[in-house]
Amino acid sequence: MRLFTCIAFTLFSVPVLMAQDFTSALYNDYAKFREEQLDKRRIKHQDIKGLIDSVKEDPSIEVNKVGTSIEGRDLYLLSLGEGDTDVFLWSQMHGDESTATMAVFDILNFFQSDTYPTEKETMLKNLRIHFLPMLNPDGAENFTRRNRLGIDINRDALRLQSPESRTLKRVRDSLDADFGFNLHDQSRYYNANRTEKPATVSFLAPAYNYEKDINLVRGNAMKIIVLMNEVLQQFVPGQVGRYNDDFEPRAFGDNIQKWGTSTILIESGGNYADREKQEIRKLNFVSVMTALKAIAERTYETVDKDRYFEIPNNDRKLFDLKLEGLTYNLLGSDYLLDVGFYQYERDNEDHSDFYLATGIGDLGDLSTFYGYKSVDVHGLHYVPAKVYPKVFENLDQAMELDLISLVQGGYGYIRVKAIPDDLSHLDAPVHIIGETYEIDPEIRIGNNPSFFISDDAGNPSYYVINGALFSMKDLRKGVSQNALILR
C-alpha cells in the first residue's frame, strides 16, 4: 500500500512540477511578451483594432471577422496552430472586464516571438488555438458590464437575443472545441474563504446541470484548473479562489460545458496595490500558458480532479480599509464600531480614466471581515474634520495655503466660491466644498466623512480622507490623495 501511494503521488505531482518549471520561466520573462500598447483596464475597441490589423500580417495567424456588435463594431476570431485539439478562448463578454483581453495579446506576442521554441512547437503542433477578444466592444466603450441592448451577454445563451451572443454560439458550434476558456473579472472585494487574502484569481469548472454532476468533460476542466492553481500558488500563495458552481441555465459557461467543451472560467479579482490589474494580467498569461501546454502534452490526464475541491471557495468579505474598534460618540453616548470602506471608481466623461470616491460599506461588528488595509484603533476616538473658516474666491487662492498645516490643525475642508464646472477631484489632502455645501459628519453607510482618530486627550493619531488612512506622524511623506470637489 505504501508503495502504491508513492507511485500515485509521483504520477500526480510530475505534471505539476513540469508546469511550474515552464511557468516560472515565463513569469520571469513576461516583460518580453507584454503588449505595451495596452496598459490600463479601460481599453476600447479602437485600442485592439490596430493590434489585430498587425496580427493579420503574420501568415501563421488566421484572422476572421465573425460578427458585429449592436453598434457595428467588428468581432474577430484569431486562430493559430495546426493540431487536432481545438482550444477556444473568449474575453470581455462583460465590457468592464478587460484584464484577460490584455493577456490575450500577451499570449499572441509569445507565439510570435522567437523564444521557447520547443514548447511552442509542441503546442502549435498539437493544438488549434482560437481567440475571440472583446466580445462586448459596445460595453467596453463605456466601461460597463452590459451590452448596448442593456442585457448581460452571459445570461443570453438560450434566447440569443443579441448579435454578440449569436456570434459566440455560432463560433462555439463551428469549432466544437475540446477546451474553452471563459475569461472574466470579478470584484476586488472577493477573498479566499475565511482568510484576509484577496481572491486574486478565481477558477470555476461550471456545472452543466442542477445536480452538479461530474462527467469526463467537466472533469477535464477540473484537472486543468488543478494545474493552474498549483502554478499560481508560487506567485500569489493563498490568493486563489473557487467560484460558486451553482448551475445557471442561461449562462454561456454552463451551457458550453453541457454542449461538450471542457470549460474553464477564470475570474480576475483584486490584488494589493494593483487596481489596474497589471500583475493579475500577468497571472492570466502564465496560467493560460500552463493550461495550453498541459493540453498539448496531455499531462492533465493523470491529475486527480478531486484536488479541484481543495481550492477555497470565494467569499466577499474584503474592504479597501477596515477600522477595528473605533470609539464613536453619537448623541452623547460612546459606541464601539468597526468601519469598512469601499473606494468606488468614478469614470471620466469618455470612460478612459477614473478617480476614487469612497463610501462606508458596513459598520458594526465586522470581525468576520477583512481589509486590504486593516488598522486596530481600539481606545481611539472619532473626531470629525473641521471646515476652514475662511471662504476663498477661487481654487488658486485656496491652494496657496499650507494644506498639511491645515490638516494638522484639524481641518479637512476648504470652502471656495468659484469652482470650475469640470472639476470633480484634485490631488490634495483636503476636500474642496462649495460656499453653501453642508457637511454630514456622521458615520453612516454610504457616507464619506473626513475625520481624525484621536486618543483620550484629543491628540490625533490618524487622518482619514476619502477612505484612505494616514499616520499623523507621516503627513508630509505623501498624504496627497484624490480629494473630492463637493458642491
**pLDDT band at residue 15 under the 50/70/90 scheme:** low
CA 276 – CA 341 distance, rounded (Å): 19
Task: Tell me which H or E stretch contains 170.
Answer: helix 163-175
Output the pLDDT for position 18: 58
CB 48 within 8 Å of CB 140: no
Judge if 378 and 399 occupy the same domain: yes
Output the pLDDT for position 16: 53
How large a percentage of the chain has pLDDT more than 90? 94
Using DSSP's 3-state secondary structure scheme, residue 325 falls into strand
**pLDDT band at residue 19 under the 50/70/90 scheme:** low
CB 30 within 8 Å of CB 285: yes
Q: C-alpha angle with apex 268: 264 to 271, nearest 5 degrees? A: 145
* DSSP codes, 58-91: -TTEEEEEEEE-TT--EEEEEEE---SEEEEEEE
**pLDDT band at residue 5 under the 50/70/90 scheme:** very low
Determine the straight-line distance between the first and last CA of the chain, rounded to whole angstroms.
74
Domain boundary at 272, 289, 315, which? 315
Domain boundary at 274, 295, 315, which? 315
**Residue 314 identity (one-letter amino acid):** N
Per-residue model confidence as pLDDT tens digits over 432-441: 999 999 999 9
How large a percentage of the chain has pLDDT more than 70? 96
Judge if 295 and 413 occupy the same domain: no
* DSSP codes, 190-225: -EETTSSSB-SEEEE---SSTT----HHHHHHHHHH
Judge if 322 and 283 occupy the same domain: no
Residue 292 has what DSSP assignment? H
Residue 329, judged by CB atoms within 10 A of its CB (0-12, 13-18, 19+), counts as exposed
Per-residue model confidence as pLDDT tens digits over 237-247: 999 999 999 99
Number of structural domains found in the chain: 2
Nearest to 92 by CA among 42, 130, 126: 42
Judge if 206 and 355 occupy the same domain: no
**pLDDT band at residue 29 under the 50/70/90 scheme:** very high
| pTM for the whole structure | 0.93
**pLDDT band at residue 446 under the 50/70/90 scheme:** very high
Residue 301 has what DSSP assignment? G
Range of the domain at 341: 318-486
Judge if 259 and 278 occupy the same domain: yes
Output the pLDDT for position 482: 82
CA 279 – CA 184 distance, rounded (Å): 15
Output the pLDDT for position 477: 78
Kindly report the CATH number assigned to the domain that includes residue 126.
3.40.630.10
Task: Tell me which H or E stretch contains 344.
Answer: strand 333-347
Residue 473, judged by CB atoms within 10 A of its CB (0-12, 13-18, 19+), counts as exposed
Judge if 284 and 235 occupy the same domain: yes
* DSSP codes, 356-417: EEEEEEEEE--TT-EEEEEEE-TT-EEEEPEEEEEEEEEHHHHHTS-HHHHHHTTEEEEEEE
CB 133 within 8 Å of CB 78: yes
Cell of 462: 490618524
Judge if 334 and 275 occupy the same domain: no
Mean pLDDT of the chain: 95
Judge if 236 and 370 occupy the same domain: no
Judge if 273 and 310 occupy the same domain: yes
Angle between helices 2-28 and 216-232 (to 10 degrees): 60
Per-residue model confidence as pLDDT tens digits over 60-82: 999 999 999 999 999 999 999 99
CA 415 – CA 388 distance, rounded (Å): 7
Judge if 137 and 285 occupy the same domain: yes
Per-residue model confidence as pLDDT tens digits over 221-230: 999 999 999 9
Tell me the HSE value of 146 on the side-chain side, using a 13 A CA sphere. 7
Domain boundary at 315, 336, 362, which? 315
CB 309 within 8 Å of CB 238: no
Any idea how long the chain is? 487
CB 157 within 8 Å of CB 251: yes
**Residue 410 identity (one-letter amino acid):** G
Residue 9 has pLDDT above 70, yes or no: no
Judge if 125 and 232 occupy the same domain: yes
Judge if 336 and 281 occupy the same domain: no
Residue 10 has pLDDT above 60, yes or no: no
385-424 burial: b if 16+ Cβ within 10 Å, else e: bbbbeeebeebeebeeeebeebbeebbbbbbbeebeeeeb
